[in-house]
Amino acid sequence: MKTLSRLGAHTQAQRIDHLISATALLALGILLAATGCGKPHQESTAAPAATAAAPSAPAASTPGDNGADSTARLAAADWAVKQDQIKNDPTGQWAIEATASSSYNDAQGMAKWSANQATGTPNVEAYADDGNAWAPKTQASGIEWLDLKYPRPVHATEVRVRESFNSGTVIKVELIDDGGTAHTVWAGNDPTTGLNYLLVKFPKTDYKTAEVKVTLATNISPGWKEIDAAQLVGTDQ
């Protein structure tokens, strides 16, 4: 009886072991199904908003050449050509005498930054503070003017003011006729930037002039305002 009891107990233990194993396998199967075969569970989220399409690639540049550098070179060459054309315009003339409302350090004659530094052809080579240009006594005091006289009277069609530092503060350009009367040919917002010309074009005057007055509002922006030269364009008839 003891042997039968042991066999019965052994059989019952085996059944219990099989039952436990089957239960464990069933639980593992349920777990694997729920977790997607071992991938980490992620909560579902809304799809991200669509982003703008990436910009298309720039046009291919010449092999061995940088596109931006090439553009800058072309712009510099174009600027140089235009500067040379103005400088050598046969209908243009450069001032031979100048006076101003004030000059830096009260400069007189041909001293640096004096009014007379604005006479003759342009000689400032870079956009910077340069004694070869006229500068008023203070940086931003307000209204300043530069008056320039030219070799011969002409029926004017254009004035070209070469601004060389802190450009963009000219507010008026006038012509003075033979009788001393001032004629405003331009007044407004000066668009000049960098070392460049303010180009003031107008219909040919019915009077002759050999004098130009340029007025600035130096308080428009900080820094020294400087003018390298000014060209009067016109014809004898």
Instruction: Delineate the domains of the chain, giving CATH numbers in brackets.
Output: 91-235 (2.60.120.260)
Of the candidates 148, 193, 149, the one whose C-alpha atom is nearest the C-alpha of residue 170 is: 193
What type of residue is 42?
Q
Is residue 234 classed as helix, strand or coil in its secondary structure? strand
Average pLDDT over residues 168-188: 98
* DSSP codes, 183-218: EEEEES-----SSEEEEEE-PPPSS-EEEEEEEEEG
Taking only the tens place, the pLDDT of each residue in 38-78 is: 323 333 333 333 323 333 333 444 445 577 888 989 988 99
Quick one: pLDDT at residue 34? Answer: 38
Phi and psi (nearest 5°) for 12?
Answer: -65, -40
Of the candidates 218, 72, 94, 74, the one whose C-alpha atom is nearest the C-alpha of residue 152 is: 94
Q: Name the pairing type of β-strands 226-235 and 170-177.
A: unpaired
Higher pLDDT, 97 or 34: 97
Cα 206 → chain centroid: 40
Taking only the tens place, the pLDDT of each residue in 188-220 is: 999 999 999 999 999 999 999 999 999 999 999
* DSSP codes, 111-141: STTSGGGGSSS----SSS--TTSB--SSSS-
State the DSSP H helix or E strand holding residue 229, giving kind and residue range, or none if neither.
strand 226-235
State the DSSP H helix or E strand holding residue 170, giving kind and residue range, or none if neither.
strand 170-177
